[in-house]
Structure 1
Amino acid sequence: MARSLLDDGRFRLQFAGHETFPLRYGWLKKSFDAVVAAEAAGQIDTRSIFTDDAAIANFGVGKNMVTSMRHWSLASGILQISNDDDLSSSGGQFQPTALGRLLFGDSGDPYLERPASLWLLHWHLAATPGRATTWYWAFNELNEPTFTRDVVRTRLGRRCNELRDDGRLKTSRITESTLKSDVLCFIRTYAVKSDGRSTQEDALECPLTELGLVQSVDIGSAFQFRRGPKSTLPDEVFLYGLLRFWRGLYPTRREFTVEAVTHEPGSPGRVFLLDEETVAERLARLSDLTRGAVRWDESTGMRQVYAADVMTLEPLAFVERLYRRARPEAKAA
């Protein structure tokens, strides 16, 4: 397996911050609106939005939930902290990201009704380590077809010990209790009932359950990843993930094999739980989507995707095009 990003010193690792609450409907929109309103009002210091005495009343939730809202807004890529190269928030101000403005700005998807929005949020949680390290580890390193909470916690604890021995976590104190809470929150972010009777009320706790990426089995005592085709995943979001993976980790490379895009840590195949044939089918469609900038080729006997200069391709531009087509005025035209 290629080198995991957990071993990459550019990424600081975090196993807490959500206060045991999974992402909930409405939280990202409220957080985004609060920061945008503060900017519009000329508030210079936005650091207090989630910490001052008025935060509980403004957001309508308890103190721990306000902290969780802050965490998920940053982890999902909706907000960012200025001058925040890792996870340090000292001195930085909250700012909406381009993704945040696309999803929650004017003509966006404030209620997360489009599957594309959920896939984008999932990508930002699981594609790289950082504020949701367990999410990255689970989708990119956990290979058990079926697992329990205890198995996940044990495997994750073993991985943390390896990282500590290598010096990556030598200054961090990660207790068994911390890992237990993080694993439970991870499961609750995605798990769907095994009997197929999951209701809208069940999904209110976390919208990402709608993606069906984790299925409960044995009456909820065990879980499994649901790998294979994803009918609700738009090609534009798949391309977004591919370009983020390519530009962020391998900016000088000009080609990837199907196997790499399927199995490399941080790849679309890993993060979106796609099988090799599904990845190949999607890669073959990207030439039309990118007007030839990303090209499928089998002439050498290997199934590969090429891009002459991937750094000239802006990932979000293709997603913006998708959302523009979905707007009422575009349909009317």
Structure 2
Amino acid sequence: MGFGQHQTFYLRQQWITKGLTEIKKNPRFFYEPEHFEILGVGKNMAKSIRHWLNVTQLIEEKRSIKTEFVMTDLAKVIFQYDPYIKTRYTLYILHYLLVTEKNEASTWYWFFNVFNERVFSKQMLVEKLKNWVEENFEKEVSLNSLKRDVDCLIQLYTAKEYINQTPEDVIKSPFESLGLIHQTIGTNFVKSETHYSLISNVLYITLLRYSEKHNIKEVSLNDLINGEELWGKVFNLNRDAIIEQLEEVQKHYPVIFTRTNRLDVIRLNTDSSWLNEIKVAYKNEVFK
């Protein structure tokens, strides 16, 4: 399980680019004594940068004579086509990888895959998260750690108020642009459905990823709506939106949606890997 490893810092706009740039030059970068000075941050913030690169599956640890961090194949593709992480296409893929990483980003996994309330407060999240942790993990997790996770999650996804602030004061998270969490009245928040015009491309890629991870070629419509690591949960999509997107996905990708009286089934009719399809999407600039 993974709780509180972000050092209380949510992901910042330039961190991915900075971190990957240095790791590409030196796989031992995060073990160098001056690495945090090169990044221009404090020691704890440097640990946070390494954490976010890890939980978005952009770096992986390699052990040989000395331990190194290297770019994953996904990171190499992103670094080639979208090095400054300017597209929501890239961000939605990173979001999917983050919130399906149960062991390293447990709170994020719980919030998007297990927690079913649409409207909530931070206090509610902490209480529900605490119950889930107690029921699913033997090791105790401190209440303060859970509170920090909840606060970090909200800050990562919720747009912030920048009125009367100088550019130096604006600390933006790239995940704000996904619009998956909004603050409503007072201290309440709401899960919001994604409104990305090219979301069908992302949905296809994530379905491929799910297929490879779990070694399956078919999912039911009910699973797609309610199953963990799938569209309804991860992207806050309801049944009608999912059916609409399925029709769109079918037009462009080898996905077959068979509707019957008893069981609606979605089948992937391809052997192509999700990483290869990401490369094709970048080359064709589907995100523009």
Give the TM-score taking structure 1 as reference length: 0.78
Matches of 2:206 and 2:109 in 1, distance apart? 14
Per the alignment, residue 20 of structure 1 pairs with 8
Q: Which amino acid aligns with 1:77?
A: Q
Per the alignment, residue 240 of structure 1 pairs with 205
Per the alignment, residue 86 of structure 1 pairs with none
Cα distance, 1:52 vs structure 2: 2.7
Cα distance, 1:130 vs structure 2: 2.2
Flag the 1:205–1:302 CA change in 2: closer, same or farther, 3 A.
Answer: same
Cα distance, 1:143 vs structure 2: 1.2
Per the alignment, residue 104 of structure 1 pairs with 79
Q: Which amino acid aligns with 2:78?
A: L
Q: Contact 1:123–1:271 (CA<8 Å) still a contact in 2?
A: yes
Flag the 1:232–1:132 CA change in 2: closer, same or farther, 3 A.
Answer: farther
Q: Contact 1:236–1:319 (CA<8 Å) still a contact in 2?
A: no
1:239-287 deviation line (CA, Å, top 9, x unaligned) = 11111222212x24x4322221111011122111111122122223334
Cα distance, 1:137 vs structure 2: 0.3
- Partner secondary structure for residue 60 of structure 2: strand
Per the alignment, residue 220 of structure 2 pairs with 257
Aligned match of 1:296 in 247, 254, 257? Answer: 257
Per the alignment, residue 275 of structure 1 pairs with 238
Q: Which amino acid aligns with 1:274?
A: L
Matches of 1:260 and 1:129 in 2, distance apart? 18
Q: How does 1:216-231 map to 2 (within 5 A)?
A: 216-219=183-186, 221-227=187-193, 230-231=195-196
1:93-149 deviation line (CA, Å, top 9, x unaligned) = 2111122112223xx212222110110111111123122111110011111121111
Identity %: 26
Aligned match of 1:185 in 152, 166, 170? Answer: 152
Structure 2's unaligned 5+ residue stretches are none
Per the alignment, residue 91 of structure 2 pairs with 118
Per the alignment, residue 124 of structure 2 pairs with 151
Cα distance, 1:91 vs structure 2: 6.3
Cα distance, 1:303 vs structure 2: 3.1
Matches of 1:150 and 1:141 in 2, distance apart? 17
Matches of 1:320 and 1:62 in 2, distance apart? 35
Cα distance, 1:300 vs structure 2: 5.6
Matches of 1:50 and 1:207 in 2, distance apart? 23
- Partner secondary structure for residue 93 of structure 1: strand
Matches of 1:51 and 1:323 in 2, distance apart? 32
RMSD over equivalenced CA pairs, Å: 2.8
Cα distance, 1:190 vs structure 2: 0.5
Matches of 2:91 and 2:145 in 1, distance apart? 26
Structure 1's unaligned 5+ residue stretches are 1-12, 39-45, 84-88, 164-168
1:211-240 deviation line (CA, Å, top 9, x unaligned) = 110010113x1111013x532443221111
1:34-59 deviation line (CA, Å, top 9, x unaligned) = 11112xxxxxxx3x422332112211
Give the TM-score taking structure 2 as reference length: 0.89
Cα distance, 1:156 vs structure 2: 0.6
Matches of 1:95 and 1:123 in 2, distance apart? 21
Cα distance, 1:196 vs structure 2: 11
- Partner secondary structure for residue 23 of structure 1: coil
- Partner secondary structure for residue 285 of structure 1: helix
Flag the 1:307–1:109 CA change in 2: closer, same or farther, 3 A.
Answer: closer
